[in-house]
Amino acid sequence: MTASEIVELRRVLGQLRQCVGSLRSRYGDVASVQRLANDVERMDIDATELLDLDSTPRQREAPRVEREVVVVPDTPYDPKLWHDADDEGLGGYRHT
């Protein structure tokens, strides 16, 4: 971000904060005003994180994550496994 973009972002966030303060004075600390205040705070935190990203060198590659491969056999399950189980997908119980 350029210096002018940073200044503009901070200015707009300050205006938003003032508007939410005016709403709080008018309507009190109702849930919708609290949510707006939280949103402005979140935007301020996100803006700060972006500024921090601009000041630190970026990592070129994401770290590799090793993933375990689980092999699932395609052989049929033992029918005893399903004995007395509900057959919900077919509309009721199935008695064998």
31-78 per-position pLDDT tens digit: 999 999 999 999 999 888 888 776 665 555 666 778 888 787 888 888
pTM of the shown model: 0.53
Q: Closest Cα partner for 21 from 2, 34, 4?
A: 34
Helix or strand holding residue 12 (H, E): helix 3-27
pLDDT classification of 19: cutoffs 50, 70, 90: very high
pLDDT classification of 92: cutoffs 50, 70, 90: low
51: Cβ contacts below 8 Å, ≥ 6 apart: 1, 6
